[in-house]
Structure 1
Amino acid sequence: MLRLGWINAVIAACVLTSVIALGGCGQFSPPYLKPLSAQTQGLLAQKGMTAESPILVRIFKSESELEIWKSKDDGRFYHFKTYPICDWSGTLGPKVNQGDRQTPEGFYLVSAPQMNPKSKYYLSFNLGFPNAYDRSNGRTGADIMVHGDCKSAGCYAMTDGVVEEIYILAREALAGGQQSFQVQAFPFRMTKANMEKHKDDKWFGFWQNLKEGYDSFEISHLPPKVDVCDKHYLINAAFVGGATPNPVGACPAYQKLPVQRAPRERLQEASVKPQARTADAGFLGRPLGSWFGLTFGPPKAPVYSAFTLGPATPATPVPTPTKAVKTKQKAAAAPTVTAQQ
């Protein structure tokens, strides 16, 4: 009898645990449905941005960095955050063939169907390789992603925590009405010094073509208009008579669109100071962590939330007045009687 009572008690406890666990499931959200963290929402508010505003992504292989830019009320894009790329495969230069394990370089568009919430690499979005430029030059491949899991075989791999925030930012921008966002993938920051450094590379001509789009965005903080004709990128062109360019044919007659420089004070506000990196000099431009499955680097300064909970300096305790002091304070507080009163 006692044994039966003990068994019934165990069963009851198990049922209660299951009910509690099932009730907790109502609080669980899969990664692709999570909201932005309070810290990220605070940073957006601090920078005058919203989660729903359009985004633009810039990738720099040599520096192993991915930037998110957000648009503001003036329609221009401003730097929101720079994220470390955990791993990318291959060397500097574009992806050419299926299986070459190269990460692509160029201008790509990402729309809602390219978002992959059930990726085997945590979360991901498809860059859209090969684009019209790639196809016109006979380049092959598919399923080139920005994803998590920190392992790359031709993709840009982030840590799971980093790709989660990037994915949510992209999801919110697309849900907010942005039809697609531009991804600009570069071999390195295309400064004059870096271009000079790589002037003898076999891909230098291709990189000069990419630099036209890089310079346009640097000056205007507006996504460059990108077309493809004569097997190359044509940046900021308006075709005469509304002609449609053929990626493999000669470019129709066109006029160059003026590049509107962002106001000086806006440029200063949104400027990004590149950090010194050594990835370009060693290991064929690959992040060191890709060789060992680890991520290395100097300790980073802690990141603080935009919210505060009180004054930075604690209030100084007020000493309890002595009896003599109380008498003086009472006398000083007494009203002065005048003739008019």
Structure 2
Amino acid sequence: MRLKHIALAFLVATALTGCNDTLDSASIDLKSVKNKVEQPLPSRIVAEMQKKNMPRNSPIMIRIFKEEGVLEVWKAKADNRFDVIASYQICAWSGKLGPKVKEGDRQAPEGFYNLTPAHLNPNSKYYLAINTGFPNRYDQANGRSGSNLMIHGACSSSGCYSMTDEQVLEIYAFARDAFKGGQTTVQLQAFPFRMTAENMARHRDNPNYDFWKMVKAGYDHFEVTKRPPEVAVCEKKYVFNQQLDGDGKFGPAAAACPPMSTPPALASALTSYGKTYEVAYQKAIDKFEGKVWYEPTEAERKAVVAAKRKGRELAYAPTGTSLEAGKLMSEAEFKEMMEKRMAAAQPKPTNTVLASAAPSPRAATAAERMKQDRVPGDNAPASTATVASAQGTTTTVPIPAQNPLAYAAPPITEEKKKPFWKFWSKE
């Protein structure tokens, strides 16, 4: 018997801890930085771009993998295919694997998000910040709520992907240069883990598994094409690289999907990819027969990397990765542990639970700082920045010089651009 119900009950009963920090994987001396907003990329990265035939201002894409604790920057080569150019250890992310559902759940977003120049916050209290764009159309259609969800520095946050200041300086520069090169939107792909057959099999009992299967479709499209997929939402679900039939178009995110299909060449490649995946998945199921992956709590992740805080300021609180703190257990061991924890939690008075979940004075201060990164609401003045076409233009895109108190996801607008399948084909 699968243990989804037990795991789900435990998730509900467990109080989630907050947004944390990670390890330094960028090596610039911040004291030497005169203008953090215009700080050029390090020469080692520029040299690597030249080696990989990546134009300086070509488009980028960002990929996040929670379980591994990794943020990757992918960049377009001269042939329009993307390759990874930088990889960073995430200093902190809060909660557990799974998407953000509501304000205050301390979960970091999972899904597909579009970032524009307006999402860049040069005056963040967390050194520099990039708003993730949560909630997107999918999130809104499914009643998900939340705000101030960023990729930022300071290695301290709540519900965010927090980096060191050195790391976010480089990530910000990648986005800035891409926008200056004419890219209108940078795609952010946030996944619970690398969506390999073995990882999917290992997490098959997780209550979020159905959601993960849906976002895996977008993951697969990128693995096959090495180009960010065209993402749309209909019937409250993500769809990827769909060619609309006739004069059809996507309506509201909750509306029925229009007549659509996957371009034949792409469909053929995905079918081949899927066959290989199914073979690997069945092998993984056999490997994990009778086993369950125990995903650690945030406190357990923190404990593994506690020594990294020594010599740092108090705000620095790395969380570590789920792979370091998690473990594979037998179904019997897992069930017994969950039942004991649930039983131990039930007798606790409500006020005890609330007290244990209450934010510390430090967390409250962080929350106040996060308000500085808030995105403007519907009544806020619109950004005056203009953005050129993402394809075939080198028009400079102005980067906001002032922070209008908040940078939040602007409305998603439909723009005409060359269909994905024409890029992917050799026409």
TM-score relative to the length of structure 2 = 0.56
- CA gap of 1:28–1:55, structure 2 versus 1, over 3 A, is closer
The whole-number CA distance in structure 2 between the counterparts of 1:295 and 1:91 is 14
2:171 to 145, 166, 170: 166
Counting only pairs closer than 5 Å after superposition, residues 63-142 of structure 1 correspond to structure 2 as: 63-142=68-147
- CA gap of 1:295–1:102, structure 2 versus 1, over 3 A, is closer
1:157 to 138, 154, 162: 162
The whole-number CA distance in structure 2 between the counterparts of 1:64 and 1:58 is 11
Question: Secondary structure of 1:242's partner?
Answer: coil
Displacement of 1:33: 1.4
Query: What code does the residue aligned with 1:100 have?
Result: D
Contact 2:93 2:319 in 1 (8 A): no
Question: Secondary structure of 1:44's partner?
Answer: helix
- CA gap of 1:108–1:296, structure 2 versus 1, over 3 A, is closer
The whole-number CA distance in structure 1 between the counterparts of 2:305 and 2:164 is 12
Match of 2:35 in 1: 30
1:282 to 287, 293, 296: 296
The whole-number CA distance in structure 2 between the counterparts of 1:38 and 1:28 is 14
Match of 1:60 in 2: 65
Q: CA-to-partner distance for each residue in 1:162-181, whole Å, 9 max, x for gaps?
A: 11001001100011110011
2:248 to 235, 238, 242: 242
Does residue 182 in structure 1 map to residue 187 in structure 2?
A: yes
Match of 1:220 in 2: 225
Query: What code does the residue aligned with 2:296 have?
Result: G
Question: Secondary structure of 2:115's partner?
Answer: strand
Q: CA-to-partner distance for each residue in 1:23-80, whole Å, 9 max, x for gaps?
A: xxxx973211111222222222222223311001100000000011110111110111
The whole-number CA distance in structure 1 between the counterparts of 2:80 and 2:294 is 34
Match of 1:198 in 2: 203
Match of 1:252 in 2: 258
The whole-number CA distance in structure 1 between the counterparts of 2:61 and 2:86 is 11
Question: Secondary structure of 2:266's partner?
Answer: coil
Displacement of 1:155: 0.4
Contact 1:70 1:80 in 2 (8 A): yes
The whole-number CA distance in structure 2 between the counterparts of 1:61 and 1:187 is 5
Q: CA-to-partner distance for each residue in 1:67-121, whole Å, 9 max, x for gaps?
A: 1111011111011121110000011000011111110000001010110000000
Unaligned runs of 5+ in 2: 1-31, 271-292, 310-315, 321-427
The whole-number CA distance in structure 1 between the counterparts of 2:175 and 2:234 is 29
- CA gap of 1:28–1:148, structure 2 versus 1, over 3 A, is closer
Q: CA-to-partner distance for each residue in 1:265-324, whole Å, 9 max, x for gaps?
A: xxxxxxxxxxxxxx9853459565489645598xxxxxxxxxxxxxxxxxxxxxxxxxxx
2:151 to 128, 146, 154: 146
The whole-number CA distance in structure 1 between the counterparts of 2:123 and 2:36 is 9
Contact 1:63 1:280 in 2 (8 A): no
Q: CA-to-partner distance for each residue in 1:132-177, whole Å, 9 max, x for gaps?
A: 0000000011121100000120000000001100100110001111
TM-score relative to the length of structure 1 = 0.70
Contact 2:63 2:71 in 1 (8 A): yes
Contact 1:58 1:68 in 2 (8 A): yes
Question: Secondary structure of 2:171's partner?
Answer: helix
Query: What code does the residue aligned with 1:73 have?
Result: A
The whole-number CA distance in structure 2 between the counterparts of 1:104 and 1:128 is 9
Match of 1:210 in 2: 215
The whole-number CA distance in structure 1 between the counterparts of 2:305 and 2:135 is 27
Give the number of aligned pairs.
255
The whole-number CA distance in structure 2 between the counterparts of 1:199 and 1:28 is 46
The worse-fitting range, judged by mean Cα deviation, of 285-294 and 217-226 is 285-294
Counting only pairs closer than 5 Å after superposition, residues 2-41 of structure 1 correspond to structure 2 as: 29-41=34-46
- CA gap of 1:126–1:236, structure 2 versus 1, over 3 A, is same
Displacement of 1:183: 0.5
Task: Give the % identical residues.
Answer: 45
- CA gap of 1:110–1:194, structure 2 versus 1, over 3 A, is same
Displacement of 1:245: 3.2
Question: Secondary structure of 1:173's partner?
Answer: helix
Deviating beyond 4 angstroms after TM superposition, the runs of 4 or more aligned structure 1 residues are 284-292, 294-297
Question: Secondary structure of 1:140's partner?
Answer: coil
Question: Secondary structure of 2:104's partner?
Answer: coil
The whole-number CA distance in structure 2 between the counterparts of 1:296 and 1:87 is 5
Q: CA-to-partner distance for each residue in 1:216-235, whole Å, 9 max, x for gaps?
A: 10111011111001111011
Question: Secondary structure of 1:66's partner?
Answer: strand
Contact 1:86 1:150 in 2 (8 A): yes
